[in-house]
Amino acid sequence: MSDKRISIASLRLRQKSNWPSMYEATHPAVLRILRASDIFMGQTAQSLKHLQLSHAEFDALATIRAQPAPYQISPTELCKTLLISSGGLTKLLYRLEAAGYITRPPSSEDRRSLLVQLSPKGKEIIESLVGPTKTLHTERLRNLTSEEQQQLDNLLDKVLADYES
């Protein structure tokens, strides 16, 4: 079975002919955003497969690495950044800790709570993905000029404005 999908334009034509109410309800730009997201998530998962790292684990490690040295973050802040439930975060942190990618030192502000800190192994693995990430991002936008990439970024920023702080 081919990984090629029908175009959004073809999907819209089918909707218009066979399901006019759905045709009226959907917006092609949103369908294209969803399609692009699905494709990009699949490509990212494929690029992480050899490391046995999930997309969520990659996002968590990248978020922790983006913190100032010693690359620590509270679970609450990490949860807000990743937009997952606290239960989902607990499972994610357990997997990352078991793999040796993070440690859980006590907070200096509240000894009852544990922070999330990138381990040397976690730092090495996430930093090894900078080049492949750049390659994937460049490939995804190869059909757009630099100006079009900036326009796309500005438009998506506007779309997300109500959902981000």
pLDDT over 70 at 1, yes or no: no
Give backbone dihedrals phi and psi of 85, rounded to 5 degrees, phi first.
Answer: -70, 160
Residue 163's pLDDT band, with cuts at 50, 70 and 90, is confident
Per-residue pLDDT at 58: 96
pTM comes to 0.86
Q: What percent of the chain has pLDDT over 90?
A: 89
- 110-137 pLDDT, tens digit per residue, is 888 999 999 999 999 999 999 999 999 9
pLDDT over 70 at 15, yes or no: yes
SS3 for 113? Answer: coil
**CB 12, CB 28: distance < 8 Å:** yes
All structural domains of the chain, each given as residue ranges with its CATH number in brackets, are 28-161 (1.10.10.10)
pLDDT over 90 at 74, yes or no: yes
Per-residue pLDDT at 106: 94
Residue 70's pLDDT band, with cuts at 50, 70 and 90, is very high
- Residue 8's alpha-carbon distances to 4, 34, 58, 151, 162, in angstroms, are 12, 10, 29, 21, 26
Residue type, 54: S
Average pLDDT of span 39-48: 92
How far is the C-alpha of 62 from the C-alpha of 87, rounded, in Å?
20
**CB 45, CB 51: distance < 8 Å:** no
Average pLDDT of span 40-66: 94
pLDDT over 70 at 88, yes or no: yes
pLDDT over 80 at 152, yes or no: yes
- 19-43 pLDDT, tens digit per residue, is 999 999 999 999 999 999 999 999 9
Per-residue pLDDT at 84: 86
